[in-house]
Structure 1
């Protein structure tokens, strides 16, 4: 990809802002340590999903520390490749209407990396993301929307934007949105990056 292309410039701007937000966070240090030093851009044609209809409104539920990146994402989402890890057989078609993610850095993102991934998760309101787990360690930083998060067998707790959430390798976790959509920055490291999460029981 030519770095002057729109897709490449969008990815670079978002990645720079994401790094700036993550870098001061102690829990993010093991992830940003693997941030690619050499930027290799690849072509990732834009793809859309039904869940994007909640993205513009999500900005109203951001935190002062996350509002800039949230606004940048809302403005440029149409230039990104939005994807899903699941099929209707996994959680049902209504789940897919309210779920999607896009990778900025990683094996399939516009900024290539074999050591870590970084991107955005989008969940519409009134959605249960059932328990799932994966080999990679994971860090979430909610940008907009207060949602219920569950780690392992612990009780679900409300987590506001700007609060980092860490998941160890193979730790089951689940999320519930309520009236607000959820937009979160995510990072993975270790294991098979980009692997489909393992679906656990529907209730921990």
Structure 2
């Protein structure tokens, strides 16, 4: 239940400016001719606009750091040089209030120092929404984020800083968007020298977004041929 004395979104300029940077990303960015990406962009921005217009009460969450947040300053420095500098600056304005998480019941020890995410809007976010999740994922250099998928959740990543690859298919630079449909298996790797900061959006049912059941789905190596 929301505290009746809690400030509303409109009373928190830094948070509303951050959300407006997201809205601009999903309104003005290119879909690259993809109908699926165009549809996803529309769903994200229309839901986000509805949340902003509703002026929800803000929810207090305790700020939490993870080991990888030692790389956040560098990621924000890199963002300042590229096309999403405005989003990077807006994130920097609220960084002291962010709750960084791992999201997995069983966290691989090798990943504990190299990965974390923070939800800024959603069922668990300081800005509440049942139908949309927005946040950021931070990776250290030389990170392999293992194979995983999201059941009944459509996910997009937009690069804010650093270079990364999904399923070894391409190198994505700042400003790039990639769409992962429900249950699409994907694996992320990051560059050798710099951290990687991604903005993400999840669209799905309220039940699924509230309890995404995040699991890593390592693939077993096939038996050698005999």
TM range (shorter): 0.7 to 0.9
Question: Aligned partners of 1:57 and 1:64: how far apart in 2?
Answer: 13
What residue is the counterpart of 2:147 in the other structure?
131
Match of 1:66 among 59, 84, 104: 84
What residue is the counterpart of 2:26 in the other structure?
22
Alignment of 1:143-158 (within 5 A): 143-150=160-167, 155-158=168-171
Higher relative contact order (CA 8 A, sep 6+): 1
Secondary structure of 1:34's counterpart equals: helix
Alignment partner of 1:2 is 2:19: no
Question: Aligned partners of 1:173 and 1:146: how far apart in 2?
Answer: 16
Question: How many residues are aligned here?
Answer: 197
Contact residue 162 and residue 173 of structure 2 kept, 8 A: yes
Question: Aligned partners of 1:71 and 1:23: how far apart in 2?
Answer: 19
Structure 2 residue ranges without an equivalent (≥5): 1-5, 32-36, 222-226
What residue is the counterpart of 1:170 in the other structure?
183
Match of 2:126 among 95, 98, 110: 110
Alignment partner of 1:119 is 2:135: yes
Alignment partner of 1:53 is 2:70: yes
Change (3 A) 1:9 1:81: farther
Q: What is the Cα-based RMSD across aligned positions, in Å?
A: 2.3
Measured against aligned partners, the alpha-carbon deviations of 1:115-144 in whole angstroms (never above 9, x if no partner) come to 111111111111100010012000110100
Question: Aligned partners of 1:4 and 1:168: how far apart in 2?
Answer: 30
Contact residue 119 and residue 186 of structure 1 kept, 8 A: yes
Alignment partner of 1:188 is 2:188: no
User: Radius of gyration: which is bigger?
Assistant: 2
Contact residue 9 and residue 15 of structure 2 kept, 8 A: no
With normalisation by structure 1, the TM-score equals: 0.86
Moved more, 23-32 or 104-113: 23-32
Structure 1 residue ranges without an equivalent (≥5): none
Contact residue 9 and residue 55 of structure 2 kept, 8 A: no
Question: Aligned partners of 1:109 and 1:121: how far apart in 2?
Answer: 14
Question: Aligned partners of 1:130 and 1:164: how far apart in 2?
Answer: 20
Measured against aligned partners, the alpha-carbon deviations of 1:43-97 in whole angstroms (never above 9, x if no partner) come to 222222211111111134336320121133234312211111125x4422x3111
Moved more, 47-56 or 159-168: 47-56
Contact residue 9 and residue 16 of structure 2 kept, 8 A: no
